[in-house]
Each structure stands twice: as C-alpha cells, then as structure tokens.
Amino acid sequence: MTNKIQKPTGNGGVLTPTANPTSKALCGIPKVAPKGSNNTVLKLNPKAADIIDALDKPLAPQAQNILYNLDQMGGTATKGELMKRLEDKQLSGLVTTQSVDAVFGHYSRMYYDRKLLLS
C-alpha cells in the first residue's frame, strides 16, 4: 500500500487545534493539560443541581456520585485530584469494578453536553 494518511488539515469547517495547533477553537471540549489529562481542571457548573433536577430521566448513580464528589471538593479540582478521591471508596462512596478513570470517561461527554461541567 503506497497511500499514507496525511497530516490533518482543515475541512472548511472550524479550524480546530488538530489541524492548526495555534487555533483557539476548542469546540466545547476542554484542552488536554500539559503532561496528561490528570492536570485538566474540572469546574462544576454553579447551576448543576438545577440542571439535574430539570432532567427528564435521572442521572445514573455513578454519574451522580462523581458530580457529588466534585461538589464536595469545592466544585473545582484537577481530574487527578478527583480520580484520587473517587478511588477511596470509603470517602467517595463510588462502588465499581471498573477503574474510576473508565467510569469518569464514560460520563464525561454527557457532563459537558448537559453543561454540568464547564470548560
């Protein structure tokens, strides 16, 4: 096979950092922090409780637990700090057979889509 995948370029839409590293267009997705995502700052929307109450279908218990723990940490923490707290089952109350990182990863997109976390 002689064809190679080319470096990403713009497609006529928003010029994202994938195509142009100097672009400020983050498209609602938080930028990965230097040296990994554990340094990404998570910010709970001050209106998160109202948003949750207004949902047609309640959040899954694990999803609620993650937001609850972030709220208990003052509403702002790095992902690494939150993961460390969630790993302490006595402190966090999160019961899972999966890694806490996997559980957070499962719900993170929904948190941003529903504006529960701010980027």
Contact call for residues 25 and 15 (beta carbons, < 8 A): yes
pTM (predicted TM-score): 0.70
Kindly state the percentage of the chain with pLDDT values over 90: 49
Q: In this predicted model, what pLDDT tens digit does every residue of 38-95 receive, in sequence order?
A: 888 999 999 999 999 898 988 899 999 999 999 999 999 999 999 999 999 899 888 8
pLDDT value of position 97: 86
Handedness of CA 89, 68, 28, 103 (dihedral sign): positive
